[in-house]
């Protein structure tokens, strides 16, 4: 028989579809069938209507459009036979939805069928109505449904109850009509009616507070009784699941009790006993029992507090956690996380037990390693969690292993096979468990917990390491009791999973190291050791290189030795070896290599004996294909060769980085004033006092978290310190000068302010560094920040000087001496265009600043259609006046000015920032330039 003829049977069509090898073949079969069905529809074929609709449902399930069958459904529903009606209603529910106009036509048939003498037909109509009824139908048919709630056959009553839910959801106004019939359903014995009645009450409570009050007052006690009967009911084979009679009914009842008990002490009181009974008596060795326990726990945690019950609930969850079934663990973790939010204290009281369990989960692979977990963890379900139990002894056994720190002496192969087994243990469970550990950490348990987590890091699978690392880092940062511990833990993490550590975390580490002056030696030696073990972790290498660059001599001389340290002997050349290995590793990226170059420069002055070798290494990068590295190596080389006399002061240790500012920055808000620590100077061993310059924080603030608005200096650690900003050199508004030794120096030096009380000023270094041989810039002048400075260092050109000013301005504009006068800045400069900003403020209105922008054309072609646009963060208002002209003459022979008025609503809290865009035409061609202005003087 040809399967594609119009007379195909349903079975044949399904076979034909199943036989299709490709999606295209399937489409062809379906197309033919649909054509046949359409033909049958237009011929008004009575005999096969029923079969055609069954086919359509199959086609619909496969995901093909079947709208042409909708009318057929209606015709079948209107026919008199039960089988036709049945398939018609099924089609109605599957093929139609409440949004279709056709549905209106069915209302009348539904009404007739709801009043039909055959109760099965009434059941069909109720079912269809319950699934697809629209608001209009709900209004029309609500009286019928209400009447059917009292129908003699319970099978109709249960369907009418669910149909009512649909109706009250569509038309909440009708809810009050259903309250007392719903309450009547709760007295039924038939499980189907009970379960749907309870469901109806629950939904009524959600919709109407009146219903909630009604059920709370009148039904709480009877519901408790229903639940008690259900719990104590004798064996009923029809409803029995794993020895429990109708767990679904239990669960619905517990849900309704939860709604009633929430926020009402009396109702909660009333249900305490039965909840305790369910929590203690329910069998927990089968899924059905656990489902009830789970629901019971949720109810206990939601109703008004009863500490005894809550202990019970948390105990159940603890037991769940140690269950071997992943599903049970999953719900337990979910619930505990909810519980922490509801009643943190109750959970905290059981923190120890919960932590043990969660650790078991997170540390699954460890458990398998020891091979003892499985035997112990088997069906041991009935023990009480709070008390000491064999299981806890097992935990402590586990601990012994942890604290020995080493893997057991099983063969490596054995170890791996176990690992494989647990590799694909559920990631979502581990993630949740970790999340929960994180919520439960506090000052007293942070140390042992971190230790175990770090131990686990070693064996966890790759996908999980990222999450785990982030969590460990955040725990360590948040709860660290002392700096040396923090540094130790971070080093461990870096050694184990350095590649997963986020930028802000290792920047934070460097800030802390920089501040812990008594630990510099210890840190650099630990890092040196760590590097010997795991040199493949990029981030670890960066920190190692930075610290060796800064504190290399402490590594060699063993300065600041702690008691717990083992002495090591490191020669100067060993230290240089580390940096050399790092820079030559081909997996190192530009950032790391650039850091290596800076470290080498620093070491060249600290280790004179290695100077020649360092020069050699630096020279090897002269031909580097990356412009930045090439430039650095050439510049550094010339410093080493030609500027011996100033080198040592050039590469002095970085000033201490300001922790408060850094953490404030990380928290996403800028400190109120950048210049916080004017007087706080730190005496370094070499006797040179350095200011603890707050703006340095900018150096460590990588642009990874740069929100455009608050960033006052666009300060990217690498951008500012190393200038490795390869992508957008013209946008930063800094460092535009041609590559020269001076440029590098300026970058290095744009980090601090010359301390007023110090006789070795940065400016001093600068002037000698650029070989201008000019007299030292008077400090008074610097601090008053007048413009003569550029003329003093004339050979360096304007832009590097602006660089210097960038670094200086925030500190110099102290409240005492700045007044309303602000220095003008180069807001933007490219090879073709330069924009100067002049600032003025009206007295008495500190929020508003008038900016006079001056545009100068540096190229040899005139610009036409010149348009300047600016954008500011939300807290700033900007008003742009028209420009003086839209044509910019060539070669700086004229300029255009434009006034901007900005109002900083967070004046004194957040600095100004601005994004600018300049569009113009050169020789008829459109040019677009854009950039960010971050170098506004402080206080605007």
Residues 6+ apart with CB under 8 A from 208: 172, 175, 176, 179
Q: How far is the CB of 89 from another protein (least distance, A)?
A: 9
Least Å distance between CB 98 and another protein? 7
Which residue, 238 or 780, is less far from another protein as judged by CB? 238
Total residues binding another protein (CB under 8 A)? 69
Residue pair 767/749 in contact by the 8 Å Cβ criterion: no
- Give dist(CA 362, CA 345) in Å, integer: 23
Among 43, 97, 443, 881, binds another protein (CB under 8 A): 97
CB of 69 to another protein, least distance (A): 13
- As measured in angstroms, the least distance from the Cβ of 295 to another protein is 5
How many residues are present in the chain?
A: 940
Which two tokens mark 459? 């064996």
Does 162 bind another protein (CB under 8 A)? Our answer is: yes
State the minimum distance, in angstroms, from the CB of residue 290 to another protein: 6
Nearer to another protein, 124 or 748 (CB): 124
462 binds another protein (CB under 8 A): no
CB of 121 to another protein, least distance (A): 11
Beta carbon of residue 868, minimum distance to another protein (angstroms, whole number): 45
- Which member of 56, 103, 175, 331 binds another protein (CB under 8 A)? 331
In which residue are the tokens 């099983």 written? 410
- Select 248 or 485, whichever has its Cβ closest to another protein: 248
Q: Which residues contact 689 (CB under 8 A, 6 or more apart)?
A: 681, 682, 683, 755, 757, 758
Residue 154, phi then psi, degrees to nearest 5: -60, -30
Of the candidate residues 29, 165, 271, 511, the single one contacting another protein (CB under 8 A): 165
Member of 280, 396, 428, 884 binding another protein (CB under 8 A): 428
Site string for another protein, 252-271 (x = CB under 8 A): x-------------------
Give yes or no for residue 864 binding another protein (CB under 8 A).
Answer: no
Structure tokens at 531: 């590097």
Enumerate residues 504-543 that contact another protein by CB under 8 A. Answer: none
CB 176 within 8 A of CB 208: yes
Name the CA radius of gyration of the chain, rounded.
Answer: 38
Minimum CB separation from another protein for residue 373, in Å? 14
Q: Indicate the residue among 237 and 843 with the shorter CB distance to another protein.
A: 237
Per-position x/- string for 169-198, each x denoting binding to another protein as judged by CB under 8 A, each - no binding: x---------------------xx--xx--
d(CA 705, CA 714): 11
Give residue 892's region: left, alpha or beta (phi > 0; psi -120 to 50). left
- Alpha helices by DSSP H, listed for 133-262, are 135-148, 154-170, 175-185, 191-207, 209-232, 247-261
Interactions with another protein, residue window 4-43 (CB under 8 A): 10-11, 14, 18
Contact yes or no for 93/128 (Cβ under 8 A): yes
| DSSP-assigned states of every residue in 693-748 | -TTHHHHH--GGG--TTT-SS---IIIIII----S-TTTSSS--SPS-HHHHHHHH
Please say which residue, 249 or 545, places its beta carbon nearer to another protein: 249
Alpha carbons 515 and 504: distance in angstroms, whole number: 17
Binding window for another protein (CB under 8 A); candidates: 159-167, 542-550, 575-583, 905-913: 159-167
Q: Is residue 903 within 8 Å of 847, Cβ to Cβ?
A: yes
* Shortest distance, position 247 Cβ to another protein, whole Å: 6
Report the residue from 30, 73, 94, 212 that binds another protein according to the rule CB under 8 A.
Answer: 94
Question: Does residue 426 bind another protein (CB under 8 A)?
Answer: yes
CB of 191 to another protein, least distance (A): 6
Binding residue for another protein (CB under 8 A) from 86, 370, 781, 921? Answer: 86
Residue 868: name the closest of 710, 857, 713 by CA. Answer: 857
Give dist(CA 924, CA 938) in Å, integer: 40
905-938 CB burial, b ≥16 within 10 A, e <16: ebbeebbbbbbbebebbbeeeebebbbbbbbbbb
Window contacting another protein (CB under 8 A); options: 93-101, 270-278, 368-376, 595-603: 93-101
Dihedral sign for Cα atoms in the order 887, 889, 890, 894: negative
233 or 630: CB nearest another protein: 233
Q: Which is nearer to another protein, 40 or 90 (CB)?
A: 90
Q: Which of 54, 44, 47, 21 is nearest to 33 (CA)?
A: 54
| Site of tokens 């072609």 | 861
Q: Which residue from 69, 130, 691, 800 is in contact with another protein, where contact means CB under 8 A? A: 130
Site for another protein in 282-321 (CB under 8 A): 287-288, 290-291, 294-295, 298
Output the smallest distance, CB 194 to another protein, in A. 10
Taking contact as CB under 8 A, which single stretch among the options 157-165, 437-445, 586-594, 634-642 is the one that binds another protein? 157-165
Q: With contact defined as beta carbons under 8 Å apart, do 746 and 766 qualify?
A: yes
Among 19, 35, 39, 61, contact with another protein (rule: CB under 8 A): 61
Query: E strands within 535-576?
Result: none
Nearest CB to another protein, comparing residues 61 and 533: 61
Chain residues in the site for another protein (CB under 8 A): 10-11, 14, 18, 54, 57-58, 61-65, 82-83, 86-87, 90, 93-94, 97-99, 120, 123, 127, 130-131, 155, 158-159, 162-163, 165-166, 169, 191-192, 195-196, 199, 238-239, 241, 246-249, 251-252, 287-288, 290-291, 294-295, 298, 326-331, 422, 424-429
């Amino acid at each position: 028989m040809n399967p594609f003829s119009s007379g195909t049977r349903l079975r044949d069509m399904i076979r034909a579809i199943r036989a299709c090898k490709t999606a295209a073949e399937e489409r062809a079969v379906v197309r033919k069938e649909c054509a046949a069905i359409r033909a049958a529809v237009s011929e008004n074929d009575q005999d096969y209507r029923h079969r055609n609709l069954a086919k359509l449902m199959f086609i619909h399930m496969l995901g093909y459009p079947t709208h042409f069958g909708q009318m057929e459904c209606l015709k079948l529903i209107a026919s008199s036979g039960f089988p036709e009606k049945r398939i018609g209603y099924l089609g109605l529910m599957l093929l139609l939805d409440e949004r279709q106009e056709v549905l209106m036509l069915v209302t009348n048939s539904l009404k007739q069928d709801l009043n039909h003498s055959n109760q099965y037909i009434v059941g069909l109509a109720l079912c269809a109505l319950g699934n697809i009824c629209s608001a209009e139908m709900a209004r029309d048919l609500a009286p019928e449904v209400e009447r059917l709630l009292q129908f003699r056959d319970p099978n109709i009553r249960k369907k009418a109850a669910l149909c009512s839910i649909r109706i009250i959801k569509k038309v909440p106004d009708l809810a009050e009509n259903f309250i007392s019939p719903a309450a009547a359903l709760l007295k039924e014995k038939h499980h189907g009616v009970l379960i749907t009645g309870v469901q109806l009450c629950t939904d009524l409570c959600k919709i109407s507070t009146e219903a909630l009050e009604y059920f709370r007052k009148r039904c709480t006690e009877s519901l408790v009784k229903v639940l008690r009967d259900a719990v104590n009911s004798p064996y009923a084979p029809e409803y029995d699941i794993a020895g429990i009679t109708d767990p679904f009914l239990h669960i619905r009842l517990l849900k309704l009790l939860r709604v009633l008990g929430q926020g009402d002490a009396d109702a909660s009181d009333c249900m305490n006993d039965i909840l305790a009974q369910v929590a203690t008596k329910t069998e927990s060795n089968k899924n059905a029992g656990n489902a009830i326990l789970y629901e019971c726990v949720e109810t206990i945690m939601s109703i008004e507090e009863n500490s005894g019950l809550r202990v019970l609930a948390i105990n159940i969850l603890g037991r769940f956690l140690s269950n071997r079934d992943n599903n049970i663990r999953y719900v337990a973790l979910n619930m505990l996380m909810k519980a922490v939010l509801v009643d943190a204290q109750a959970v905290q009281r059981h923190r120890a037990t919960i932590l043990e369990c969660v650790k078991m989960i997170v540390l699954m692979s460890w458990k398998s390693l020891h091979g003892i977990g499985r035997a112990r963890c088997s069906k041991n379900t009935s023990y009480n969690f709070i008390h000491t139990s064999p299981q806890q002894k097992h935990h402590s056994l586990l601990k012994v292993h942890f604290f020995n720190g080493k893997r057991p002496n099983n063969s490596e192969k054995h170890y791996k096979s176990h690992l494989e087994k647990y590799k694909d243990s559920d990631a979502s469970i581990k993630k949740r468990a970790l999340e929960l550990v994180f919520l439960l950490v506090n000052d007293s348990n942070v140390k042992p917990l971190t230790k175990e987590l770090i131990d686990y890091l070693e064996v966890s699978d790759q996908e999980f390491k990222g999450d785990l690392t982030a969590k460990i880092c955040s725990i360590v940062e948040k709860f660290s009791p002392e700096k040396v511990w923090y540094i130790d833990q971070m080093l461990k993490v870096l050694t184990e999973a350095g590649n997963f550590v986020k930028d802000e975390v290792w920047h934070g580490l460097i800030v802390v190291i920089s501040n812990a002056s008594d630990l510099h030696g210890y840190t650099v030696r630990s890092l040196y050791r760590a590097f010997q073990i795991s040199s493949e972790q990029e981030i670890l290498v960066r920190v190692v290189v930075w610290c060796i660059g800064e504190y290399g001599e402490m590594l060699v001389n063993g300065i600041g030795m702690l008691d717990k340290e083992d002495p090591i002997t490191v020669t100067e050349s060993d230290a240089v070896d580390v940096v050399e290995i790092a820079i030559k590793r081909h997996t190192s990226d530009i950032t790391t290599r650039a850091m290596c170059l800076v470290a080498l420069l620093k070491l060249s002055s600290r280790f004179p004996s290695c100077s020649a070798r360092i020069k050699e290494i630096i020279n090897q990068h002269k031909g580097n294909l990356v412009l930045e590295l090439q430039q650095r190596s050439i510049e550094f080389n010339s410093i080493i060769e030609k500027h011996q006399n100033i080198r040592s002061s050039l590469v002095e240790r970085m000033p201490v980085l300001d922790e408060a500012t850094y953490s404030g920055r990380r928290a996403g808000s800028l400190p109120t004033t950048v210049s916080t620590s004017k007087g706080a100077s730190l005496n370094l061993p070499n006797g040179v006092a350095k200011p603890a310059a707050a703006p340095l924080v900018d150096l460590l603030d990588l642009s990874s978290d740069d929100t455009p608005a608050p960033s006052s200096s666009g300060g990217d650690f690498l951008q500012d310190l190393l200038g490795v900003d390869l992508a957008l050199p013209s946008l930063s508004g800094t460092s535009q000068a041609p590559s020269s030794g001076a440029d590098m120096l300026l970058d290095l030096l744009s980090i601090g302010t010359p301390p007023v009380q110090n006789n070795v000023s940065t400016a001093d270094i600068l002037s000698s560094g650029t070989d201008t041989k000019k007299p030292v810039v008077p400090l008074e002048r610097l601090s008053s920040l007048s413009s003569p400075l550029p003329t003093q260092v004339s050979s360096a050109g304007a832009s590097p000087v602006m660089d210097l000013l960038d670094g200086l301005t925030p500190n110099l504009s102290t409240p005492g001496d700045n007044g309303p006068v602000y220095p003008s800045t180069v807001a933007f400069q490219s090879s073709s265009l330069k924009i100067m900003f002049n600032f003025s403020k009206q007295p008495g209105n500190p929020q508003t600043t008038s900016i006079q922008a001056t545009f100068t054309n540096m190229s040899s072609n005139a610009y036409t259609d010149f348009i300047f646009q600016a954008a500011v963060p939300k807290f700033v208002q900007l008003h742009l006046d028209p420009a003086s002209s839209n044509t910019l003459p060539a070669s700086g022979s004229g300029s255009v000015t434009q006034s901007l008025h900005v109002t900083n609503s967070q004046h004194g809290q957040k600095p100004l920032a601005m994004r600018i865009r300049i569009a113009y035409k050169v020789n008829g061609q459109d040019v677009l330039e854009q950039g960010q202005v971050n170098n506004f003087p402080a206080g605007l």
